[in-house]
Chain A
Amino acid sequence: MNNLTITQAHKGFLEKKFSALELTKLFLNKIKKQDRKISAFITVTDDLALSQAKEVDKLISEGKKIPILAGVPVAVKDNILVEGIKATCSSKILGKYAAPYNATCIKKLKELGAVILGKTNLDEFAMGSSTEHSAFSPTKNPHDLTRVPGGSSGGSAAAVAADLCCYALGSDTGGSIRQPASFCGVVGLKPTYGAVSRYGLIAFASSLDQIGPITKTAEDAQIVFNAISGKDPKDSTSVESKISNFKFQISNLKIGIPKEYFIKGMDPEVEKIVKQAIEKIEKMGAKIEEISLPHTEYALPIYYIIMPSEASANLARYDGIKYGLSKSNKDLLSVYLKSRADGFGDEVKRRIMLGTYALSAGYYDAYYLKAQKVRTLIRHDFDKAFNKVDAIFTPTSPFTAFKLGEKIKDPLSMYLSDIFTASVNLVGLPAVSVPIGFKGKPASQQGGLPVGLQIIGKPFEENKILEISKIYAP
């Protein structure tokens, strides 16, 4: 029962090799024993998981046909609401907050019989690239406990990599699924903006946020994506994807390699492993074409204008009155000031300040509006590229997992972690990070660090980029 994928777990249930309850107990025990070292979980939901597993076993014993996700244990990032369970967002301001309802993706998973093991750690309000900005404790990378798992979905990626669950849900605003998936050697999909409902995802930057799966294989990512996607009346920006035919021949594929993504200062070993992955698909018959996305260098600066602007507006809801931490004081203004001062951590305050600045009178045109115009130019770059190619390959990150503490003191160096991932959120495209090799030692030995390949697709072609991903992580 080691390192089971979703398909293997499902097969195990059907062949009666193990029950959903046995599998759930196995994971709960593993979490108890091993998560002290990793800190992937904030909350473990034993009772919920055991009762869900029993229900699935009942269906199996009655000879009913079960969905593929039924009985399969999942970990959920702690910014996604599961009714009755704490949803802290790794923030003191929501430290005691319990979700009053289910997020739409959770409702869908529950209806399919999923077993929810617990809620996973993240950078506070998903703001960060290392999970060190969690108000509770940093998560460690299972491949090397002195290193970060990436972020902000670091807890979810580490939980999958350490086999503390079969798969996990994360959220991605500027790379928060793909970068930790890359650092932890697992598959992470950021769907097209609108493909998955954001209802019940604690809002961060609403024109960029998407929920997506973190899995052991590309096939599993397809299963989860297809289960959670679709139009939801509760999220007016969600849409029904109309693309169903994603079959293709590798020899007909044209892969674009943007020259702007192979930059000075990137780890040469990462570059080498990414180039080997490109050669692999080329040998299988795909055509490789060098392309240019000329405005790439501006993606990160405009991301760090647009994202904090949206965040500063979204986080205005934490006022010490409706829910969350409240520091009672003499008047209304001081309730606001004190609750937010005590409830938010450093990075969250920094981004609220930055966003408020960019939106304030006198700076709006120079920062916010200018950024939204440059965003259009980045969109045009991708439109032109996708007229010529079917998918774009880039490294997910210019480097492998860094040491705990290495970047935490210097916000700008931490922000550079998103350099290859933020563009995709700005224009809404789907992208996946797939593990393609290890830096240092091979996978079979301890001490190697995973390297990820990012595959970017056209809108709503998640299934196509995941189909391509199967070449690397079947």
Chain B
Amino acid sequence: MISKQDVQHIAKLARLGLKETEIKKFQKDLSSILDYFNSLKKVDVSNVEPTFHPVEHYFKQRLDVMRQDRAESQPEQVVDKLIAAAPDKKERHIKVKAVFK
């Protein structure tokens, strides 16, 4: 069973606020799911390369070709909608709580 401290540490990394009851539940849930992964221990993967993405293999080349690092302007109305979606804003700026104290 993974410890309460482990769950709290992971929750903090994930930026998830958890209630006390949730911490207990996740100790149990995560432990049983991690046990399920134990079957992988018997697979020998020495000399096996990882497959991070399915497509590279089919085309024998990387497909996530980067575009030029250049700002592409968006139509004004899309920009307006994106700003409108922000919960806290001032004119055309999105407000964020202070990062430094």
B residues within 8 A CB of A376?
45, 48-51
- Asked if A369 is at the interface (CB within 8 A of a chain B CB), the reply is yes
Considering only residues 35-65 of chain B, those with a C-beta below 8 Å from chain A are 36-37, 39-40, 43, 45, 48-55, 57-59, 63-65
Of B7, B51, B55, the residue contacting A353 (CB under 8 A) is: B7
Question: Is there contact, CB below 8 Å, between B51 and A375?
Answer: yes
CB distance from A353 to the nearest CB of B (A): 6
Question: Is there contact, CB below 8 Å, between A357 and B64?
Answer: no
Number of contact residues on B: which range applies?
Answer: 35 or more
Question: Is there contact, CB below 8 Å, between A338 and B17?
Answer: yes
Check A237/B64 contact, CB under 8 A, given A369-B50, A376-B48, A376-B49.
yes
Of A322, A356, A411, the residue contacting B14 (CB under 8 A) is: A356
Interface string of A369-400 (1 = CB under 8 A from B): 11111111101000000000000000000000
Closest to A319 in B: B15
B residues within 8 A CB of A333?
15
Interface string of B88-100 (1 = CB under 8 A from A): 1000001011110
Interface string of B1-44 (1 = CB under 8 A from A): 00000110011011111110010001001101110110110010
Of A236, A328, A426, the residue contacting B65 (CB under 8 A) is: A236
Binds B, one of A56-64, A119-127, A299-307: A299-307
Question: Is there contact, CB below 8 Å, between B51 and A372?
Answer: yes
- Asked if A98 is at the interface (CB within 8 A of a chain B CB), the reply is yes
B residues within 8 A CB of A331?
97-98
B residues within 8 A CB of A326?
87-88
Question: Is there contact, CB below 8 Å, between B53 and A295?
Answer: no
Question: Is there contact, CB below 8 Å, between B48 and A336?
Answer: no
Considering only residues 61-87 of chain B, those with a C-beta below 8 Å from chain A are 63-67, 78, 81-82, 85-87
Of B6, B19, B33, B39, the residue contacting A297 (CB under 8 A) is: B39
A residues within 8 A CB of B82?
100, 323
B residues within 8 A CB of A425?
54
Interface residues in A, total, Cβ within 8 A: 66
Binds B, one of A173-181, A246-254, A275-283, A344-352: A344-352
If over half of A's interface residues share one DSSP class (helix, strand or loop), that class is named, otherwise mixed; here it is helix
- Asked if A321 is at the interface (CB within 8 A of a chain B CB), the reply is yes
Question: Is there contact, CB below 8 Å, between A350 and B43?
Answer: no
In the complex the two chains form, what is the Cα distance from A258 to B13 in whole Å?
Answer: 41
Question: Is there contact, CB below 8 Å, between B13 and A360?
Answer: yes
19 further A-B pairs in the complex, CB-CB below 8 A; given A304-B37, A328-B87, A353-B26:
A302-B40, A312-B14, A321-B96, A324-B85, A324-B87, A337-B17, A341-B18, A344-B16, A349-B16, A349-B18, A349-B22, A353-B7, A372-B50, A372-B52, A373-B48, A373-B50, A375-B50, A379-B57, A412-B36
Q: Which residues of B contact A (CB under 8 A)?
A: 6-7, 10-11, 13-19, 22, 26, 29-30, 32-34, 36-37, 39-40, 43, 45, 48-55, 57-59, 63-67, 78, 81-82, 85-88, 94, 96-99
Q: Which residues of A contact B (CB under 8 A)?
A: 97-98, 100-101, 193-194, 207, 236-237, 239, 295, 297-298, 301-302, 304-305, 312, 316, 319-326, 328, 331-338, 340-341, 344, 349-350, 352-354, 356-357, 360, 367, 369-377, 379, 411-412, 415, 425-428, 459
Q: List 5 A-B contacts (CB under 8 A).
A: A98-B81, A100-B85, A194-B63, A369-B50, A372-B51
